[in-house]
Structure 1
Amino acid sequence: MTTHGPVLPTWSCGGCDLPWPCPTRRRELRAEYADAPVSLALYLGGYLVQAAEDMPWAPAGALHRRFIGWTRQPLAVQQRSTATVPAEPGRNGRHQAG
């Protein structure tokens, strides 16, 4: 059993006090769901809904990246990332069909 579980309603990690899921818990979950990435996303989606209810002030995009967005990243990219959620690129940086 991991010590890196969520502390509610702040959604911090009980093991390291970083935002949950922390890097350690992400590694554990990735290993546990190695053969079932869709199940991992569904599992974390349930936590996303709970977190959105506990933190209505948090931007939906930031919560999505925190709880689900990292599941589609290759492991090497995930290991280089920090505990903070990176900013989303601005509209001007996106390619628009014209």
Structure 2
Amino acid sequence: MTRRRVEHLPSRPTWRCSACGIAWPCSPAKLRLLGEYRNDRTALLIYLATLKTEAAEHLVEFGGTLPNNLADRFIYWARAR
């Protein structure tokens, strides 16, 4: 029996994980992104900043208010330590 791989991707316009339902990027998504961009942290941060902007637009349009923690949620976790 083969297990189906579950992709932890953002579900637009809610920006919740399509696999586990929590705010995206969830922990599995963060691990995958860190692995994919392990040799180019700058590219990862640019990608996440682009997604943060898209998420902000969607969340305001569909929810009416902008969450205060978007930078923490999308960018700060990925900074070089």
**TM-score if structure 1 supplies the norm length?**
0.68
Q: How far off is 1:55 after superposition? A: 1.3
CA shift in 2, pair 1:24/1:71, >3 Å: same
Q: How far off is 1:58 after superposition? A: 2.1
Highest Rg: 1 or 2?
A: 1
Q: Secondary structure at the match of 1:55?
A: helix
How much identity, in percent, do the aligned residues show? Answer: 36
Q: How far off is 1:73 after superposition? A: 6.0
Q: How far off is 1:72 after superposition? A: 1.5
Q: How many aligned residue pairs are there?
A: 73
Is residue 18 from structure 1 mapped to residue 22 from structure 2 by the alignment?
yes
Q: Which runs of 4+ in 1 moved over 4 A?
A: none
Residue 50 of structure 1: aligned partner:
54
CA shift in 2, pair 1:41/1:2, >3 Å: farther
Structure 1: unaligned runs, 5 residues or longer: 75-98
Structure 2: unaligned runs, 5 residues or longer: none
Q: Secondary structure at the match of 1:64?
A: helix
Superposition RMSD in Å: 1.7
**TM-score if structure 2 supplies the norm length?**
0.81
